[in-house]
Amino acid sequence: MNGLKGMHHVTAITSSAEENYKFFTYVLGMRLVKKTVNQDDIQTYHLFFADDKGSPGTDMTFFDFPGIPKGSHGTNEIYRTGFRVPSDAALVYWVKRFDKLEVKHDGIAEQFGKKVLNFVDFDDQQYQLISDENNEGVASGTPWQDGPIPLEYAITGLGPIFVRIQDYKYFKQVMEKVLLFTELDQDGSHHLFEVGEGGNGAQVIVEENAVLPMARQGYGTVHHAAFRIDDLETLHQWDEHYRSFGLQTSGYVDRFFFKSLYTRVAPQILFELATDGPGFMGDEPYETLGEKLSLPPFLENKREEIEGMVRHIDTVRSSKQFEKEYED
């Protein structure tokens, strides 16, 4: 059975698809590569932000469930999503940018030998920029070539995800024996795990915390995180592997853009395994990725109904020219 290859995507919940689009496009400079709907709840938008080409391991996706309340952070939660930038100098650029745009952040700090910058969005969704300087391991993606961020500072892909857990002893067993991660380091209550080729794109930081109240899912929180696998054959092997440990799974789910398998590995912690392909360019050309409402073939016959349910959001960027925004 081939192992996990690192991060594939993270899916979170937003209070506003429109504000979410503005923040990721105009503040973070990530490319909207797919505008679709939640396949299990077709009145809900599902937006995919990624690198220039929509590469696996680079995308953060969002649901905007109508009427959902604000979530609360706590324990038993995937509570922060990392993004990779090329260098320590890039973090200095982002501090200046966040200050100018009034994005709340904690300043540059060090974490397991890497420079990082924690910040939040308008929903109090928690993120981190992590420097790839001196990083080795899983290759990152290609920054959005036509976006507003100078390429030498731009986000290139996903970094570590952060999990806060009440029963660390159990979760460590899951990470090592089920998911086949290796614990590399520890700093107080924080434990650094790595899989596959390793590096910033294949790491999970687990915080042991039995003090905080249980997290409550809602907007401003993460829904699930996904790890990369090779193909459908590997997915079926992992399904059997999970079941051998007594874990329940979704079974194979065809998401059109990739093949998936879902498993709740601990209370409130939902992990997905997702194949690298087919990818996001099967129904849209590179030049206009994310500009139309994209529906998988099994929902295409409901297009008129779906377009009547979801609000129109103008995501056309191919006709616009973004100037690179240097921060003095």
Q: Assign residue 243 a region (left: φ > 0; alpha: ψ between -120 and 50; beta: otherwise).
A: alpha
Share of the chain above pLDDT 70, in %: 100
Pairing of strands 41-50, 59-63: antiparallel
Would you place residue 210 in the very low, low, confident or very high pLDDT band (cuts 50, 70, 90)? very high
Q: How many whole angstroms separate alpha carbon 149 and alpha carbon 129?
A: 14
* Per-residue confidence (pLDDT) for residue 104, from 0 to 100: 98
pLDDT of 78 strictly over 90 = yes
Residue appearing with tokens 């995507």: 9
Cis peptide bond upstream of 267, omega within 30:
no
Instruction: Please report, for the domain that includes residue 113, its CATH number.
Output: 3.10.180.10
Q: How many whole angstroms separate alpha carbon 238 and alpha carbon 236?
A: 5
Closest CA to 295 of 283, 287, 285: 283
Q: How many whole angstroms separate alpha carbon 213 and alpha carbon 133?
A: 36
| Domain presence at residue 323 | no
Contacts of 274 (CB under 8 A, 6+ apart): 8, 9, 56, 226, 227, 228, 229, 255, 258, 259, 260, 261
How many domains does the structure of the chain reveal?
1
pLDDT of 282 strictly over 90 = no
Query: Mean pLDDT of all residues in the chain?
Result: 97
**Residue 17: enclosing H or E segment and its boundaries?**
helix 17-22
Q: Is 274 helix (H, G, I), strand (E, B) or coil?
A: strand
| Domain presence at residue 320 | no
pLDDT tens for 102-134 read: 999 999 999 999 999 999 999 999 999 999 999
| Domain presence at residue 322 | no
Closest CA to 310 of 69, 9, 43, 120: 43
* Per-residue confidence (pLDDT) for residue 286, from 0 to 100: 96
Domain that holds residue 34: 6-309
| Domain presence at residue 291 | yes
* Per-residue confidence (pLDDT) for residue 209, from 0 to 100: 98
pLDDT tens for 284-301 read: 999 999 999 999 999 999
pLDDT tens for 221-278 read: 999 999 999 999 999 999 999 999 999 999 999 999 999 999 999 999 999 999 999 9
* Per-residue confidence (pLDDT) for residue 328, from 0 to 100: 81
Phi, psi (deg, nearest 5) at residue 262: -115, 140
pLDDT tens for 247-260 read: 999 999 999 999 99
